[in-house]
Amino acid sequence: MRSLWISLRLLAAVLAAVVIVIGRRLSQGPLVPGWTWGLEFRRETLRALLETGARIGRPERWADLHIEAPVPRKLRGLITVAPDTVNGVDGEWLRLPPLPARPVLLYVHGGGFVIGSPGMERPFISHLATAARADAFSVDYRLSPRHAFPAALVDVTKVYLGLLDRGIEPERIVVTGDSAGGNLAAALLVRLRDEGLPLPGAAVLLSAWLDLALTGSTIWSNAATDYLPIVDAQPALHYLGDDTDPAAPWASPLYADLKGLPPMLVVAGGREIILDDSTRFVDRAWEAGVDATLYIEEDMFHAWASVVPNHPVSQRTFTIVADWIESHRSCVA
């Protein structure tokens, strides 16, 4: 009975979001110049679902939400999906036809540390791996609040070391993540450097949530154009637990010493609330002498390439990431 009630509440939220978009566009035009109806519907419905789910859902049950999305139809002849367990941590491989010395994306999904799975981001990772001509291992790390910090980072670290144990050279690995997964990807680099372990060849951070203390000014200035209801800090609190400082370097890589980290591409949307996380992180990386490249897609909200992977702007993002990885082949091949 409760699940039916939750479903009805979510459906009502989606219908209300559709009405809001229609009314707003007819009276005021698009929320952002150039946004299509479809893009605005997606943004509004996501915001409604996240806000409603946060109010009526039980945090400890959010991790039970599993969506198994298929590989996009046009990529099914190229990408094969195979579940695997690497160093005790579950996940799945998305592989292209065999080719020597392909880059390997160690992919860490987003979801605010409380939801998400490899299956949920399978279409996005398929597009990204195909564009980059790489194999990808997508990590099914433990989620909070059942497993607070540093459980997720421990899992990602175990997978990275497990890939090395399987004979994959660290230089071939591109640690990649979006949103909370971008946090974990950056934290992995810092942890490996701190512990004197081999570093991967490169990293790609997509809409990375790097400051769990939530001090960026774009949290407020971009609140009207993003879909994330993050200002209540609920996901961060669930992940951090009772004892972790939100500015601890392994929890919020923005505050870490970044010296000695591998080349990084940091991608962010100009309309997302955590844009400042990316810009400040790249500034600090440059100050530390790290080869860091910042790309901002000016009119896009949080993790757009994951949310609308078939959109032309997302396809452009995949090309930019692929070209950057190719330009750093000396690091990852």
Is residue 7 flagged as an active site residue?
no
Is residue 40 flagged as an active site residue?
no
Is residue 179 flagged as an active site residue?
yes
Cα distances (Å, whole numbers) of residue 263 to 25, 123, 184, 212, 260: 42, 26, 16, 23, 9
The residue among 50, 62, 102, 58 whose CA lies nearest residue 79 is 102
- Indicate which residue of 121, 171, 272, 297 is catalytic: 272
Residues in the chain: 333
In this structure, the number of other CB atoms found within 10 A of the CB of residue 160 comes to 30
**What's the rounded Cα separation, in Å, for the pair 268 and 204?**
11
- Indicate which residue of 126, 144, 179, 252 is catalytic: 179
What's the chain look like in SS3? CHHHHHHHHHHHHHHHHHHHHHHHHHHHCCCCCCCCHHHHHHHHHHHHHHHHHHHHCCHHHHHHCCCCCCCCHHHCCCCEEEEEEECCEEEEEEECCCCCCCCEEEEECCCCCCCCCCCCCHHHHHHHHHHHCCEEEEECCCCCCCCCCCHHHHHHHHHHHHHHHCCCCHHHEEEEEECHHHHHHHHHHHHHHHCCCCCCCEEEEECCCCCCCCCCCHHHHCCCCCCCCHHHCHHHHHHHCCCCCCCCCCCCHHHCCCCCCCCEEEEEECCCCCHHHHHHHHHHHHHCCCCEEEEEECCCCCCHHHHCCCCHHHHHHHHHHHHHHHHCHHHHC
**What's the rounded Cα separation, in Å, for the pair 211 and 208?**
9
- Indicate which residue of 302, 306, 314, 328 is catalytic: 302
Known catalytic residues?
Answer: 179, 272, 302
